[in-house]
Amino acid sequence: MPISRELLEILVCPLCKEPVTLTPNNLGLKCNKCKRVYPIKDDIPVMLIDEAKIEE
């Protein structure tokens, strides 16, 4: 089950507090400010800075 619109509207990057967007492959949530991508595991966003990968 994909992440709901309501959840996407309230989720923010835990580092810079900017909104996150769903990646094109639907496997992560990306912060456009700091470029971190937080993984989605078993349909649950893992919003931990240590789990994020930096992508350009």
* SS3 label, residue 49: helix
Per CATH, domain 5-54 is 2.60.40.420: no
Specify burial of residue 36 (Cβ count, 10 A radius: 0-12, 13-18, 19+): buried
pLDDT at residue 56, as a whole number:
86
Distance separating alpha carbons of residues 28 and 44, to the nearest angstrom: 10
pLDDT at residue 31, as a whole number:
98
Distance separating alpha carbons of residues 16 and 5, to the nearest angstrom: 21
Phi and psi, residue 53, nearest 5°: -115, 145
pLDDT at residue 30, as a whole number:
98
pLDDT at residue 1, as a whole number:
62
pLDDT at residue 38, as a whole number:
98
Does the CA dihedral 7-45-22-3 come out positive or negative?
negative
| pLDDT tens digits for range 1-56 | 678 899 999 999 999 999 999 999 999 999 999 999 999 999 999 999 999 999 98
Domain edges within the chain: 5-54
